[in-house]
Amino acid sequence: MTGRGSGTPPRTVPGPALLGRQAEVAHVLDLVDARGTEQRILLLLGEAGTGKSRLLAAAADHARDSGVLVLASQGIEAESRHSFASLHQLLLPVLGDTAALPGHLRTALETAFGIAVDEGPPDSMLLRTAVLTLLGGVSGRHRVLLTLDDVQHMDRDSLDVLGFVMRRLTAHDVTVLMTARGCTAPAGLPADLPVVLLGPLTEQAAAELMDAQPHAPTGRTRIELLRQAGGNPLAIIELCRAAGTGGAGVLPGGGLPRTERIQELYAARLRALPETAQRLILYAAASQGEDLATVMTAAGAGSALSAWAPAEEIGLVAVMDGQVHFRHPLVRAGAYHAAPAHVRQQAHRDLAAALTADPARRAWHLAAACVGQDESVATALEDTAELAERRGGFYAAGQALQRAAECSPAPADRARRYTKALRAAQNVGDPLWVSELYDQITALTEDRDLLGMAACGAGMGLSLFGHQRQAFRVVRRALEPDPPANGMTVVALTSILAAIGYQSGLPEIRDPVSAALEGTRTGDHETPYAELATSDSSDAVRAASLAGADPTRAPELLRRIRQEPAAREPAADIAEMTRLLGLGGVAWYADESDLCVEAHRQGYAMLSAFGAMGSAAPSLAAVGAALIDTGRWAEADEHLDRSAALAAVHKWAHLQSDVEALRTTLRALRGENAGSPADSAWTAVGLEENRATHARLLRAAGTAAAAAGDFDGAFRHFRSLYAEDGTPLHYFLSPRSIADLAAAAQRTGREREAAPVVTAVRAAVGPRPTTRMTLLLHHAAALTGPPKDAEHHFRLATVNPVGDQWPPARAQARLHYAQWLRRRRRPLDARALLVPALESFTRLGAAGLADEARVELRASGVTTASAPARDRADPLAELTAQQREIVRLAARGLRNREIAEQLLLSPRTVSSHLYNVYPKLGVSSRNQLRALFEDL
């Protein structure tokens, strides 16, 4: 769903290489479609493999489909010494048009291309004029697109001519698109060219591109591949192919198999290097980020930096700041795998010998050189992992522990190390990696504590994949009939059980939580769980589990946590992160939304710094909802973007649907044309065992329908949040939508149908509901209960100042109360509620609701001049001159294409401008735009 309203949908170009390049695609295609006399030139820059050529090809295909003549030239390094080779390639299809040129210009052009024999070189000015005249003549009959690929390899003479021509093309219908490698324009091009830099793909786009490949890797290899590729599309494609077809060779620090294709991509350039340079490149590729001095010492290359010069000159590496930087991820992969196995093994031994002062890195190189099993190597790696975990490096710790397990001769040590690796992988948030390790552990041991620790990760992984019942069975087997001896293992297992119970919404999964925690001691911290190493952290986790199982206990549990004496100086470690997440979880269930957001914000900052966002996975959707409910919508956008990226990278299935639902909800609240969540969100997981996701999707669909004026549809979706007898579909989330159901019922005359649901929800939340639920229930009762009690409930829904913590709900309650008052001919009372409601909606950016409040204000007798000052300000002041003109034409009823023709723009540009300015104007449709201009 795009939420773009009536505008033209964004252009898409098929092909995995362009995933994550939607903005660049739109920009380039707009340039191809543009008309008029403005300069239409663009240079695409980026490292090898970023998709420049693919984007150029997409533009050329689009141009041909639009009847544009495409003239193309590709720089070829072997031809760069031949004068005018690239220019000849570009103009070859139109050389027949030279017959129309004046004789002296035709002669200059034919002489440059070797068609005509002349005693000397062509006059440079005549040649330039000839090319400009030729293109001008061709563009008089056809629109023309010039595509120049790999400009850095074009001959200098061609670039000199084309540079002259490009500066003078504004009088002709010619568009020029170029690509070049690197971050700066090659010599010979005009210095003031418009540039688009194609950087690395975002994490989400990189993950989507990887998933689009045949036989995409899973588990640790998947994450390592994404890390090694660094967002480079070509590297992702080629390394995926390697993982699917290669052997067992690996790059140091990751499981990327060998492939001949990767090797051959750079093999020829590597073989051309002097022997010393080849050796240095291999040792740098085998390194774990060691500094330049260590690499050169291990390689026995002395200290002369001139040894690197041949590799730097051909663009394989850059040596700077005491480090060796590979220009492209595939250079490192190709250099490493091009060497025979025994040479790679010796490189690792040499690097280990040079790292006597760095035990951690030394251990990794010993492991890379190890064939078979070696307890000394396994011990060194385990020590390395403990150091990494203390520093919060869970990914590095998991890698080291898995390799330590593989090097362990004794099965018991192997199982123990695999279990520790699984815990690190769980903190990273990679369910596929966890699943692989869980299978290894269960095949090696029957130790209840080890199996309990492993079940924590496996259960959470299955839950993130959406398999809640299977996750429950895994955790229950670890708890019954004989629970683990270590009490903290029981606490950890129960916290996973509570997370599964919340996501599933199934009582049979939630019910065992409290019983499982009975008798466990929080004072015993002889535990392998660093997360639970303090009483504060274990108590917070226990409280969050109990609150998740029974939210009616949450306020009391939160009160107890707040009464506990705070630690003098909380440590910035995994235990403190766990305490913050536990506190935030209890606050979520207690409807203390501000505390929920703040605690999670602090915890996430620490987790993100340590690369351990897997611990945050169960709470990400809740925090997104809390940000929306508390009116932090800009922060919600950022949070949902980060959550979507994490969900894509780690394949957290239900979170992807949750993010789609929350984004739809937010767009609808803003008054955009949100539509229902995408079909894929409804089918990604089984909704019957993922009721939390189902509830979010239903709320999103209902909110979107209400924003579109479809109150019958809104009622249908909100009513589906409850069973026939009013029992909530999800024990916690469904009750928080009771006021939305009541509002839709009031709009459709179904108050009597909704009233029993309100009664059922009141019973479900217990005799002492939270302040938020109290306010929502009063709001719902005012809309659906007996008319004689309506004002009483409206007052109780709007008077408590604590309700200001949830500005969208508070403003809607005031709006509904004001509408009720106005219908009873009490406009003066209504105005006092409508003014703050309008201010809240305007501040939030809730355009549709703000418009509804304005209408009510006018109906209550408030003229535009009497509206709040911020509402009277000229809303066009923030727009550019072009945007103001587009908006004025749209308000007059012109369509996007008609506006584009008047302003000499593309329809896509018009649509993009309207999409961007609607939120600034507080409108969501052309009808509202016309009403806005009537008010100005």
Residue type, 207: A
**Residue 898 covered by a domain:** yes
**pLDDT tens digits, one per residue of 4-14:** 333 333 444 44
Residues 6+ apart with CB under 8 A from 712: 748
Give CA–CA dist 455/479, Å, rounded.
9
pTM: 0.74
Looking at residue 121, its pLDDT comes to: 66
Looking at residue 873, its pLDDT comes to: 45
**Residue 137 covered by a domain:** yes
Shared-domain flag, residues 827 and 899: no
Shared-domain flag, residues 852 and 930: no
Looking at residue 582, its pLDDT comes to: 94
The mean of the pLDDT values for the chain is 84
Give CA–CA dist 737/714, Å, rounded.
12
Locate 250 and state its tokens: 């690996």
Closest CA to 478 of 438, 444, 449: 449
CATH code at position 163: 3.40.50.300
Shared-domain flag, residues 119 and 180: yes
The domain boundary residue, chosen from 870, 895, 916: 870
**pLDDT tens digits, one per residue of 383-392:** 888 877 766 5
Shared-domain flag, residues 136 and 157: yes
Q: Are the CB atoms for 865 and 836 separated by under 8 Å?
A: no
Looking at residue 833, its pLDDT comes to: 92
Q: What is the mean pLDDT of residues 656-679?
A: 92
Q: What is the mean pLDDT of residues 49-53?
A: 83
| Residue located via tokens 């620490």 | 606
Looking at residue 472, its pLDDT comes to: 95
Locate 519 and state its tokens: 């008798």
Closest CA to 133 of 86, 79, 178, 97: 97
Q: What is the mean pLDDT of residues 262-280?
A: 79
More confident residue, 118 or 51: 51
Give CA–CA dist 230/205, Å, rounded.
12
Locate 712 and state its tokens: 């019958």
**Residue 42 covered by a domain:** yes
Give CA–CA dist 846/669, Å, rounded.
6
**pLDDT tens digits, one per residue of 386-411:** 877 766 577 888 888 999 999 999 99
What percent of the chain stands above pLDDT 70? 87
**pLDDT tens digits, one per residue of 300-323:** 888 889 999 998 888 788 898 888
Q: Are the CB atoms for 817 and 825 separated by under 8 Å?
A: no
For the chain, how many structural domains are there in total?
Answer: 3
Looking at residue 640, its pLDDT comes to: 94
Looking at residue 858, its pLDDT comes to: 87
**pLDDT tens digits, one per residue of 851-878:** 999 988 888 877 644 444 444 445 666 6
Give CA–CA dist 904/305, Å, rounded.
56
**Residue 90 covered by a domain:** yes
Give CA–CA dist 224/743, Å, rounded.
50
* Least confident residue range of 152-166, 167-181, 756-770, 906-920: 906-920
Shared-domain flag, residues 83 and 127: yes
**Residue 234 covered by a domain:** no
The domain boundary residue, chosen from 197, 226, 248: 197
Shared-domain flag, residues 903 and 813: no
Q: What is the mean pLDDT of residues 281-303?
A: 87
* Least confident residue range of 125-134, 140-149, 515-524: 515-524
Q: What is the mean pLDDT of residues 788-794?
A: 94
The domain boundary residue, chosen from 820, 841, 870: 870
Strands 195-197 and 41-46: parallel
Q: Is the predicted pLDDT of residue 299 greater than 80, yes or no? A: yes
**Residue 244 covered by a domain:** no
Shared-domain flag, residues 810 and 888: no
Give CA–CA dist 204/645, Å, rounded.
4
Locate 365 and state its tokens: 């190189």
Number of H helices, E strands in the chain: 47, 7
Shared-domain flag, residues 841 and 883: no
DSSP-assigned letters across all residues of 523-578: S----S-GGG-SHHHHHHHHHHHHHHH-GGGHHHHHHHHHHSPPPSS--SSHHHHH
Q: Where does the pLDDT of residue 666 fall: very low under 50, low under 70, confident under 90, or very high at 90 and above?
A: very high
Q: What is the mean pLDDT of residues 543-561?
A: 93
Give CA–CA dist 769/594, Å, rounded.
18
What is the extent of the structural domain holding 913? 874-935
**Residue 814 covered by a domain:** yes
**Residue 931 covered by a domain:** yes
Shared-domain flag, residues 914 and 881: yes
Give CA–CA dist 195/31, Å, rounded.
13
867: left (phi over 0), alpha (psi -120 to 50) or beta: beta
Shared-domain flag, residues 878 and 866: no
Locate 294 and state its tokens: 């260590």
Shared-domain flag, residues 32 and 79: yes
Give CA–CA dist 295/355, Å, rounded.
10
Neighbours of 375 (CB within 10 A): 13
Q: Where does the pLDDT of residue 214 fall: very low under 50, low under 70, confident under 90, or very high at 90 and above?
A: confident
What percent of the chain stands above pLDDT 90? 38
Shared-domain flag, residues 174 and 186: yes
CATH code at position 882: 1.10.10.10
